[in-house]
Amino acid sequence: MALPRPHRFDVYIAAGGLLGGLLLVGIGLSTRPAADPITLFDGPWPVLVPLVVLAGCELLRRAAPRTALLIGTAGICADVVTQGSLATVLMFTDVIYAAVLYGPLASARRIQWITGLLTVAGTLVPFAVWREPEALLIGVVVGVVAYGPAATGWIVRNHRDAAEAARLRAEQSVLLAEMDRTQAVTAERARMARELHDMVANHLSAIAIHSTAALSIDEPTTSREALGVIRENSVAGLAEMRRLIGILRDGDGEPAAVPTLDGLTALVEGARANGLDVTLDACHDGAVPAPVELAAYRIVQESLTNALKHACPGRVTVSLAERDGSLMVEVSSPYGDRDGPRAPGSGAGLVGMRERAALLGGTFRAGPRGGLWTVHATLPVSEGESE
């Protein structure tokens, strides 16, 4: 099995350690004299074997840290029976540091425990055998060479992991903020689309129907009446458009005068002026939250617009009643094949009414029932959420 490719920085460390060790051998500097009892191989050349082994371990310090530590431990043991090289010892401390920093978490914990126990043993056992204070220096050397690098690697690893966790949390926060912003933009665009449709569709539908009637009926009186209705609706629609544009330009505020249930009478009168036969039956105590009032007004407005565009001749009934903590809104109009001019529909009105009811936690249904097209919405007045 081929060993992983070493990191470029590790190659620099290995080359620097090897060259430094060769320089120390060249000037005859070693860690122990040749007469030391534990020196089995004296002379400068045996020192080169563990030096080369540790330099090779430095190549694997990041790519294979556990393998490098195992081989490096054998190398440092071989260095003990020679005159020794300071470069070999320094490279071994770096191999321990890298094994804790880059190795698996379980291995990093074990290395700390092992080096700590070796330090304690290196302090107590020689002192117990020789009963000399100088024997304690063996534990100090073991601690500096083994436990010190392991503890340093553990501290650096903890800081690195904490920094990585903070970076991930920051990225998640940015992602959540972007998702919230996208959802807010989408919701605001849907709200403005509903407002634009509800404000203008009624007037444009009346203009389309009366202009078609004026073009198809060659009677001056009828054409003049149609032109009057067209002018009224175009002026009203232009005013609504200006108000909506002002809201978009000036900021995120509500319209200066939010429609309420008190405006249903004027709304019905406008529908009658456009040619609908409308009756209004509104029974409520007036204690209706503003969001519910706005939704009910817009649902009635859109229902009257649909009746103007699609309903057959006949009476249109608008009823509002408050029951069981909810406001019931129902608009019924004649259903069937229609003669005469009609305006095309896109279905956006039904979608908007259904969205308004859903945002308040209510229900909405629309469809033919008993020869009538009925729009029915139930809007809670106690737990309504503003749009």
pLDDT 10s digits, 53-83: 999 999 999 999 999 999 999 999 999 889 8
Whether 117 has a pLDDT exceeding 90, the answer reads yes
Whether 196 has a pLDDT exceeding 50, the answer reads yes
Neighbours of 286 (CB within 10 A): 9
Q: Is residue 341 one of the residues assigned to a domain?
A: no
Whether 353 has a pLDDT exceeding 70, the answer reads yes
Least confident of 83-87, 145-149, 187-191, 216-220: 216-220
- 29 and 160 fall within a common domain: yes
Domain count, the chain: 3
The residues with which 327 forms a beta bridge, in sequence order, are 322, 379
Cα separation, 149 vs 197, in Å, equals: 71
**Domain enclosing residue 228, as ranges:** 179-251
Which pLDDT band holds residue 255 (cuts at 50, 70, 90)? very low
Whether 208 has a pLDDT exceeding 80, the answer reads no
Which of 251, 283, 300 terminates a domain? The answer is 251
Which pLDDT band holds residue 347 (cuts at 50, 70, 90)? low
Strands (E) in the chain, as ranges, are 277-283, 315-323, 326-334, 363-369, 372-380
Which of 126, 145, 166 terminates a domain? The answer is 166
Q: What is the pLDDT of residue 313?
A: 80
Q: What is the pLDDT of residue 126?
A: 87
- Which two tokens mark 305? 């617009």
Q: What is the pLDDT of residue 384?
A: 41
Q: Is residue 385 one of the residues assigned to a domain?
A: no
Which pLDDT band holds residue 98 (cuts at 50, 70, 90)? very high
Which of 225, 251, 277 terminates a domain? The answer is 251
- 98 and 154 fall within a common domain: yes
Tell the residue number behind the tokens 């490096």, with chain if given: 72
- 16 and 159 fall within a common domain: yes
Instruction: Give this prediction's pTM.
Output: 0.56
Q: What is the pLDDT of residue 40?
A: 76
**Contact at 8 Å (CB) between 387 and 362?**
no
- 153 and 212 fall within a common domain: no
Cα separation, 376 vs 315, in Å, equals: 17
- 356 and 281 fall within a common domain: yes
Taking the CA atoms of the chain, what radius of gyration do you get in angstroms? 44
Q: Which residues contact 308 (CB under 8 A, 6 or more apart)?
A: 202, 205, 206, 209, 271, 274, 275, 276, 343
Whether 387 has a pLDDT exceeding 50, the answer reads no
- 67 and 194 fall within a common domain: no
Whether 301 has a pLDDT exceeding 90, the answer reads no
For the stretch 333-356, what's the b/e string if a residue is b when 16 or more beta carbons lie within 10 angstroms of its beta carbon?
bbbeeeeebebeeeeebbebbbbb
